[in-house]
């Protein structure tokens, strides 16, 4: 929808009046004390001050850079067709039955002209809206980059240059996972800019150019505040954080370095109010290059996929597994018939490298694998039960309707298969401890949960969770299933108790439980002080 510019905070009328008075007074003084009435020495002295001021070192300005790159920045306006909304049904009027207002609307129709007598069934009505953002050209033949969220529902796209010229553009391709889109306008000899070859550094000066609140051609300056930010937007989060003011309408616009190269695409801000508070996020140029190349070539983006649910290696998990550090990605579960399963990847494996390059954490593994083409053969460095090994596998590709990446439990989208349905049935069946004679507790007072045998299914069912106990803090919920403890499969509450006791005897500070829920499978490190 069209954004309405926020009114800037203005000075009070009193302050404005005082300022005007001051200006007028100064003006009058300068007219009264005319140069012709001053001694020549005083006039020379004033002139010398001006000359001296010109020689004083001044802050570095950005005008020359802006003059060069601004013509390549465009305002993007799109026409949207919103989801069809049913027309109002007079049977659902917000008036009491039999009231004069109800009778009026039933007789004469709704305000939009709909007749009450003909509204027994709601009729869909097409609704249209508009949105605006920013973008920039990357070639002389009219290819331009913007955000996916700017054009994803567009029925018509128009771009406007800084000189006021407007063109119709078409969407070449979009990538929702990175929020990037490639559009094109017909023509040639357009001004354009290039994507930076080297990554920006924290502390570098940057310029943001775009169309905030519909005010096209706006330039703001700041620095790179941080790199590698994860803002929860998706599995490939790797944002540059900048403090240059960025507002609504800047989406899709470029962030330049002082050499005039694009280091990022502005895509999001952190703001309690909706306006800039000095925290904005840009997609780095390294990501933009990879995505745009695929969009230009085939209109879509394909990514490598190994088919695992992964999670970060926390200090507690590292301690439970006997790892020297917390680097790598812990495999919660390989997916059925995935490249990982076919290659022999197992639950509990920690992936620490790809083709010999270290993996810092689970998100880096997702980005590294997602940046490779399907059918690529890779070598994964894996730690399994304290031993290092190398596993080769060929990356697969998933349909666009599913995530073609290494999945984390929070992002997993499990199918509603038979196992999921049985999990829901377990939750209903085991939800009341008083009705289940087989139910036992496992150190219940410490963890704050009750367990029950899984019956014909593997694992031990969590029947009840004390909302104020440690188990709730660890994310346990009724209906979750504990599959194994310290790498050992469990089938009864007694098995869980035994595994905990063995971990204590071995002098471990924490124990690792593999837990299955409706969101997927994950590992939970339980400090033995709680268990």
Average pLDDT, the chain: 78
Residue 180 CA to residue 138 CA, distance in Å, equals 14
Are residues 489 and 422 both part of a single domain? yes
Pair 510, 525: CB distance under 8 Å: yes
In a domain, 18, yes or no: no
Domain-terminating residue out of 242, 265, 298 = 298
Kindly provide the residue ranges of all beta strands, DSSP E only, lying in 2-161, ordered along the sequence. 73-86, 124-137, 143-147, 154-160
Is residue 19 in a domain?
A: no
Distances, alpha carbon 234 to alpha carbons 363, 410, 496, in Å: 10, 11, 35
Residue 82 confidence (pLDDT): 62
Quote the DSSP letter at residue 9: P
d(CA 234, CA 133): 21
CB 366 within 8 A of CB 351: no
Residue the block writes with tokens 């010999």: 356
Counting every residue written for the chain, the total comes to 531
Question: Do 383 and 328 contact (CB within 8 A), yes or no?
Answer: yes
Name the active-site residue from 75, 134, 175, 179: 179
Residue 30 falls inside a structural domain? no
Same domain, 354 and 397: yes
Longest dimension (CA), the chain: 109
The pLDDT score that the predictor gives to residue 400 is 57
Task: Report the CATH number that the domain containing residue 463 is assigned in CATH.
Answer: 2.30.42.10
Question: Which residue carries 């567009």 as its tokens?
Answer: 154
514 and 440 together in one domain: yes
Instruction: Specify the residue for token string 């039933």.
Output: 106
The residue from 75, 119, 251, 276 that is catalytic is: 251
Catalytic residue among 75, 119, 134, 149: 149
Last residue of a domain, one of 343, 376, 411: 411
Is 366 in the same domain as 401?
Answer: yes
Beta strands in 46-117, from DSSP E residues, in sequence order = 73-86
CA distance 262 to 257: 7
Q: Are 94 and 110 in contact (CB under 8 A)?
A: no
Based on the fold, state whether residues 429 and 359 are members of the same structural domain.
no
Distance CA 190, CA 193 (A): 10
Written as six digits, the tokens of 254 are 């470029």
Q: How far apart are CA 312 and CA 329, in angstroms?
A: 5
The residues facing 239 across adjacent strands are 229
Given a cut of 70, the residues of the chain with pLDDT beneath it are 1-48, 50-54, 56-59, 82-128, 398-445, 529-531
CATH number where 103 lies: 2.40.10.10
Range of the domain at 258: 205-298
Rounded Cα–Cα distance for residues 193 and 84 (Å): 39
Nearest Cα neighbor of 107 from 94, 82, 90 is 90
Tell me the torsion sign for CA atoms 383, 509, 468, 433.
Answer: positive
pLDDT at residue 435 in the model? 34
> What pLDDT does residue 119 have?
45
Q: Is the dihedral of CA 351, 355, 356, 362 positive or negative?
A: negative
Q: Which residues contact 94 (CB under 8 A, 6 or more apart)?
A: none
Residue 259 and residue 281 in one domain: yes
Could you tell me the two tokens for 410?
A: 């929070």
Do 83 and 150 fall into the same domain? yes
pLDDT digits (tens, 9 = 90+) for 450-478: 998 877 788 999 999 988 888 888 889 99
In a domain, 268, yes or no: yes
Which ranges of 109-146 does DSSP label H, i.e. alpha helix?
none
In-domain check, residue 95:
yes
Q: What are the pLDDT digits (tens) for 426-437?
A: 333 333 333 333
* Residues 146 and 106 placed together within one structural domain of the fold: yes
Q: Which of 367, 381, 286 is nearest to 331 (CA)?
A: 381
| The domain boundary residue, chosen from 185, 214, 243 | 185
Torsion (CA) 331, 335, 338, 343 in degrees, nearest 10:
40
12 inside domain: no
CA distance 469 to 477: 12
Shared domain check, 219 and 166 = no
Q: Is residue 134 part of a domain?
A: yes
Is the domain of 404 the same as that of 455?
Answer: no
> Rounded to whole angstroms, how far apart are CA atoms 10 and 362?
48
Strand partners, 146: 181
Overall domain count for the chain: 4
Query: Could you give the residue ranges of the DSSP H alpha helices within 58-110?
Result: 63-69, 100-108
pTM recorded for the entire structure: 0.68
Are 75 and 152 in a shared domain?
Answer: yes
Based on the fold, state whether residues 335 and 294 are members of the same structural domain.
no
Quick check: is 191 in a domain?
no
Identify whether 251 is a catalytic site residue.
Answer: yes
Given 3-state DSSP classes, what are the helix, strand and coil percentages for the chain, each rounded to the nearest 5? 25, 30, 40
- Give me the pLDDT at residue 342, please: 94
Which residue is associated with the tokens 């140029």? 285
């Amino acid at each position: 929808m069209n954004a309405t510019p926020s009114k800037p905070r203005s000075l009070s009328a009193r302050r404005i009046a005082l300022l005007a008075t001051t200006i007028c007074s100064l003006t009058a003084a300068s007219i009264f004390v005319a140069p012709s009435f001053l001694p020549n020495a005083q006039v020379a002295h004033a002139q010398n001050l001006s000359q001296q001021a010109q020689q004083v070192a001044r802050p570095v300005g950005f005008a020359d850079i802006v003059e060069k790159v601004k013509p390549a920045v465009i305002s993007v306006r799109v026409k949207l067709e919103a989801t069809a909304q049913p027309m109002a049904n007079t049977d659902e009027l917000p008036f009491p039955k039999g009231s004069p207002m109800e009778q009026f609307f039933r007789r004469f129709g709704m305000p939009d002209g709909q007749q009450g007598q003909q509204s027994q069934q709601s009729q869909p009505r097409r609704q249209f809206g508009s949105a605006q953002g920013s973008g920039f050209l990357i070639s002389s033949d009219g290819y331009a980059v913007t955000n996916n969220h700017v054009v994803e529902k567009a029925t018509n796209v128009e771009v406007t240059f800084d000189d006021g010229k407007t063109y119709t553009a078409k969407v070449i391709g979009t990538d929702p996972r990175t929020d990037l889109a490639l559009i094109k306008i017909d023509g040639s000899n357009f001004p354009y800019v290039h994507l930076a070859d080297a990554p920006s550094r924290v502390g570098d000066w940057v310029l943001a150019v775009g169309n905030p609140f519909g005010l096209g051609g706006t330039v703001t300056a700041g620095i790179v505040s941080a790199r590698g930010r994860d803002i929860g937007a998706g599995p490939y989060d790797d944002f540059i954080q900048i403090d240059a003011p960025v507002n609504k309408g800047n989406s899709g616009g470029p962030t330049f370095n002082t050499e005039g190269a694009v280091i990022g695409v502005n895509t999001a801000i952190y703001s309690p109010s909706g306006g800039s508070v000095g925290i904005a996020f840009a997609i780095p140029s390294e990501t933009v290059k990879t995505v745009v190349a695929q969009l230009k070539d085939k209109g879509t983006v394909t990514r490598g996929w190994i088919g695992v649910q992964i999670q970060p290696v926390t200090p507690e998990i590292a301690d439970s597994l006997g790892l020297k550090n917390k680097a790598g990605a812990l495999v919660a579960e390989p997916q059925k018939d995935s490249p990982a399963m076919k290659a022999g990847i197992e639950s509990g494996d920690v992936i620490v490298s790809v083709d010999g390059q270290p993996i810092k954490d689970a998100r880096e593994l997702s980005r590294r694998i997602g940046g490779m083409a399907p059918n690529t053969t890779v070598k994964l460095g894996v730690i399994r039960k304290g031993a290092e090994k190398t596993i080769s596998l060929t990356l697969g590709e998933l349909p666009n309707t599913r995530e073609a990446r290494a999945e984390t439990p929070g992002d997993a989208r499990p199918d509603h298969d038979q196992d999921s349905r049985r999990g829901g049935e377990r939750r209903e069946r085991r939800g009341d401890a008083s009705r289940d004679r087989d139910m036992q507790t496992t150190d219940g007072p410490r963890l704050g949960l009750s367990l029950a045998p899984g019956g014909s299914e593997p694992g031990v069912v969590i029947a009840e969770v004390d909302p104020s106990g440690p188990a709730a803090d660890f994310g346990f919920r009724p209906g979750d299933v504990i599959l194994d403890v310290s790498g050992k499969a469990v089938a009864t509450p007694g098995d869980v108790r035994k595994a905990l006791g063995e971990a204590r005897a071995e002098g471990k500070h924490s124990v690792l439980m593999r837990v299955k829920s409706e969101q997927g499978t994950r590992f939970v490190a339980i400090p033995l002080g709680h268990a």
